[in-house]
Amino acid sequence: MEKSIIYVVSDSVGETAEFVIKAALSQFMSENDYDLYRIPYVENIEVLRGAVYHAKQLGAMIGFTLVRPEFRQFLIQEARDKQVECVDIIGPMLQAMERKFQKKPKEEPGLIHKLDEDYFRRVEAIEFAVRYDDGRDPRGVAQADIVLIGVSRTSKTPLSQYLAHKQLKVANVPIVPEVDPPSSLFDLPAHKCIGLRINPEKLNGIRKERLKSLGLDDQAIYANVDRIESELSFFDDIINQLGCPVIDVSHKAVEETANIILNMINQPYWDYRDKQINQ
């Protein structure tokens, strides 16, 4: 028994048409009973004319996703004239949506794959934030779009994750007096580092609550006021060396801080050089 032949024609990759066609074919035959040939990235009428010609010669049918109306109309008419079975997979949906939304489609091939690329960039950024969280691997500093620096409990980790969902690769480095920051931090352009400042009283309260949640004594050195002052002083020394912008996160939600950062990276760094972000 000869295999059935189906041409998949598209002005983009053709994956959508192929998926739909295979789903329909599964209702009639197994994968061994047909051959499917994809003709992607159609950019001119002659390719469509050739597809119909070969389909006619081989007794094949055509399934297509073409967002450009002139291509759809030509292929449908050419197939009708040559008596080739031809199915428009996306056209009726586009026409229905045009009526429903009262607006013209963009008629740009491949937009769904641009969305896919956005998705994969987001996943990559999230994985990056996890891998280079809390200074666990200093190699991330040089690879990051943004490096957040601050003492413990300044929301570095949740902020890194939030920004990762905006497709930014973020590393964060804890500032601890007993540990020198990675040397690569001082090799970065100043605007790629962002310091997260917090006032001592706020930090003291946050750390005490953290200790309680862990079932520990809230009088531990971690929440000691003198210790906190020492850490913040060391933080200021590092910031002065880096010359980077600083955001006061004492009374800000993660989303609020993230929006400030997003605004900062979309404007010239020098607008912020001599200014602390305390609003």
Binding residues: 150-157
Are 207 and 156 contacting, i.e. CB atoms less than 8 angstroms apart? Answer: no
The DSSP output letter for 59 is: T
Which among 196, 183, 194 has a CA at the least distance from the CA of 264?
Answer: 194
* Residue 237, SS3 per DSSP: helix
Question: Sheet containing 170-174: which strands, arranged edge to edge?
Answer: 170-174, 146-150, 193-197, 246-248
Provide the β-strand partners of residue 36. Answer: 6
Task: Give dist(CA 186, CA 243) in Å, integer.
Answer: 10
**207 phi, psi to nearest 5 deg:** -70, -35
Annotated binding site for ADP: 150-157
Please give the sequence-ordered ranges of beta strands (E in DSSP) within the chain, or none if there are none. 4-10, 34-39, 61-65, 86-88, 146-150, 170-174, 193-197, 246-248
Q: Beta 146-150 vs 170-174: how paired, if at all?
A: parallel
Q: Token pair of 4, please?
A: 């059935």
